Amino acid sequence: MVDGEFPGVVVIIAFPDLARAHAWYASDAYQAILPLRTRNSDGGAIIVDGVPEGYTAAGYLEKVLAGSPRS
| 24, 15 contact by CB (below 8 A) | yes
When pLDDT is averaged across residues 9-22 and rounded to a whole number, the result is 88
- Higher-pLDDT residue of 35, 5: 35
Cut 0.75: pTM above it: no
pLDDT at 6: 67
Nearest alpha-carbon partner for 47 in 22, 10, 27: 22
What residue spans define the domains of the chain? Answer: 1-71
Query: Does residue 1 contact residue 37 with C-beta atoms inside 8 Å?
Result: no
Residues 36-47 pLDDT 10s = 999 998 778 888
CB 69 within 8 A of CB 33: no
What is the predicted pLDDT for the residue at 71?
A: 46
CA distance 44 to 38: 8
Confidence (pLDDT) at 64:
83
Per-chain mean pLDDT for the chain: 84
